[in-house]
Structure 1
Amino acid sequence: MLTPDTERQLMQTAQSLSGMSLGELAGKLDVRVPVNLNKEKGWIGLLLERALGASAGSKPLPDFPELGIELKTLPIDRNAKVLETTFVCVAPLTGMSGVTWQTSHVKKKMAKVLWVPIISERQLPVAERIICTPFLWQPDAEEETLMQADWQELTDMIVLGEVEKISGKYGEVMQLRPKAANSKVKTSAFDKHGRPFQTLPRGFYLKTGFTQHLLNKHLRID
């Protein structure tokens, strides 16, 4: 697909996919549909990126760099209940001194997001999962304040050498979790004495309560 030149063009293409099954979309793009997503967790996102002409690839930029828009799929059930947390970006565990919220990857990624809800109940075969109406979101002042507070708390813990203490209970709307294909993948971090050690890579994730709030706001559900 061609990279969209304008926000309007991107939204029109995204809206044209609404109601389509993943199998139908994959057929149009001549893409193989996996039997399950156990070993291909990012497959749905990659399919949508291809369909919409995302160009960032694996670079630490929004998926549509020219438009400053990130693409995120949102797995929901038939009752519009969000089913899982949303990966934002990998969390750097070293070189964090001097990094601020304003210069962080999280802020850049979350500045403007095209959300594509997908009915993804576990019992539904991948090919039969349905793309729902997309919506464009920019955080309002309150939403950004919540994300910033969590980012600051989690980043402070990383800088202070307490990454191993961080669990899913930290953060009101965003959490830090291991992000690796398997437990053999390691990355460098520092302990509280400033000594380097190897640990699992971590990623920032939006909690389901927050993405549910965004979806409800879009659907105008109180």
Structure 2
Amino acid sequence: MFKFGTMQTASEFKPHTSAELLLACQRIAGLTLGQLAAELALPVPDNLLKDKGWVGQLMEQALGASAGSQALPDFPELGIELKTLPISQQGKPLESTYVCTAPLIGITGQQWEDSWVCRKLSHVLWLPILAERKLPLKDRIIGQGFLWQPDSEQQALLRQDWEELMELISLGGIAKIRGAHGKVLQLRPKAADSKALTRAVGINGEPIQTLPRGFYLKSGFTQAILQQHFQLG
């Protein structure tokens, strides 16, 4: 079981290099979420219906992520973003992966290189979690984390989708955007309920109220990342 040592508690652990971060990932690989939560003296919710961010928060605490809710990578000193990835027994992602909130106003002239999506995905620690639906939350198993940076082809795909989606938003086409838009990146509503509205631009340039949107990586893209790293067939 993952131990932080007698002189260092989980809350005090902070990786100073990417090698230290990967070592911490190795130490928790193979544990269930329940076992890791017990090490950190944290309660395990019955399910994720009301605690959707619980798994990510558990991993952040275990691995020493320090950004919290700030607009920074999860490991600011390393410039690395943490992304948990629920997978099936066959190693396939079970859902799309949330990247960040999408800006809906004041976006004229924004460039891909300056976007939060680009910065979030420039260096990612992927942490697969065996999370079959039939498995109780506490029995889901932590896989081996690995570092990833998009290659030129992946970067081009992400950029193209981002630019097309942002153009639709800026031209008032927010209501027309569906999950099918984009090859690897999609835009979807992200709100706790239908009353959580935010400002956007309508089809005629008028101000409107709409649900907040978030950028998500499509599961086919994250599956390709897994295959690339683990050399799966």
* In structure 1, C-alpha distance between the alignment counterparts of 2:18 and 2:156, rounded to whole Å: 25
Residues 1:135 and 2:157 are matched in the alignment: no
TM-superposition CA deviations, 1:159-199 (whole Å, max 9, x none): 10111100011000010000011111111001122211110
Residues 1:156 and 2:153 are matched in the alignment: no
Residues 1-222 of structure 1: matches in 2 within 5 Å?
1=11, 2-222=13-233
TM-superposition CA deviations, 1:112-139 (whole Å, max 9, x none): 0000000001110000000011110000
SS in 2 for 1:176: strand
TM-superposition CA deviations, 1:63-122 (whole Å, max 9, x none): 011101000000001111110000000001011112100000000000000000000011
Is contact 1:21–1:128 with CA below 8 Å preserved after alignment? yes
Q: CA deviation at 1:50?
A: 0.6
* In structure 2, C-alpha distance between the alignment counterparts of 1:96 and 1:202, rounded to whole Å: 14
Q: CA deviation at 1:14?
A: 1.2
Is contact 1:151–1:174 with CA below 8 Å preserved after alignment? yes
* In structure 2, C-alpha distance between the alignment counterparts of 1:4 and 1:76, rounded to whole Å: 26
Superposition RMSD in Å: 0.8
Is contact 1:72–1:116 with CA below 8 Å preserved after alignment? yes
Is contact 1:61–1:108 with CA below 8 Å preserved after alignment? no
* In structure 2, C-alpha distance between the alignment counterparts of 1:158 and 1:3, rounded to whole Å: 39
* In structure 1, C-alpha distance between the alignment counterparts of 2:92 and 2:153, rounded to whole Å: 22
* In structure 1, C-alpha distance between the alignment counterparts of 2:105 and 2:227, rounded to whole Å: 37
The amino acid across from 1:47 in the alignment is: L
Question: Structure 2: any 5+ residue segments left out of the alignment?
Answer: 1-10
Is contact 1:114–1:134 with CA below 8 Å preserved after alignment? yes
Is contact 1:178–1:203 with CA below 8 Å preserved after alignment? yes
Is contact 1:110–1:139 with CA below 8 Å preserved after alignment? yes
Question: Structure 1: any 5+ residue segments left out of the alignment?
Answer: none
Q: Which moved more, 1:190-199 or 1:21-30?
A: 190-199
